[in-house]
Amino acid sequence: MVLSLDRWVGKVAVVTGASSGIGAAIADFLVDKGLIVAGLARRSERVEKKAKELSGKKGKLHAIKTDITKEEDILNAFKWIEENLGHVHILINNAGVSKEDFLRNGDAAIWKQVLDVNVMGLCIATREAVKIMSANNIKGHIIHINSVAGHKVLNYPGINLYCASKYAVTALTETLRHELNAIDSKIKTTSLSPGLVTCEMTTLNPELSEERKKLRVTLPILDPEDVAEAVGYVLSTSENVQINELTITPVGEKF
Q: Which residues does the annotation mark as catalytic?
A: 162
The 3-state DSSP composition of the chain as helix, strand, coil percent (nearest 5) reads 45, 15, 40
Element (H, E) at 177: helix 162-182
**What is the longest distance spanned by two Cα atoms in the chain?**
52
Of the CA atoms within 13 Å of residue 44, those in its CB half-sphere come to 14
Nearest to 192 by CA among 118, 142, 239: 142
Q: Report the distance separating Cα 159 and Cα 155, nearest Å.
A: 9
Measured between alpha carbons, how far is residue 217 from residues 128, 153, 213, 255 in Å? 38, 21, 6, 15
Query: Which pairing describes strands 36-41 and 141-145: parallel, antiparallel, or unpaired?
Result: unpaired
Q: How far apart are the first and last CA of the chain?
A: 32
CB 125 within 8 A of CB 93: yes
CB 16 within 8 A of CB 68: yes
Element (H, E) at 191: strand 188-194
Residue 72: count other Cβ atoms within 10 Å of its Cβ: 10
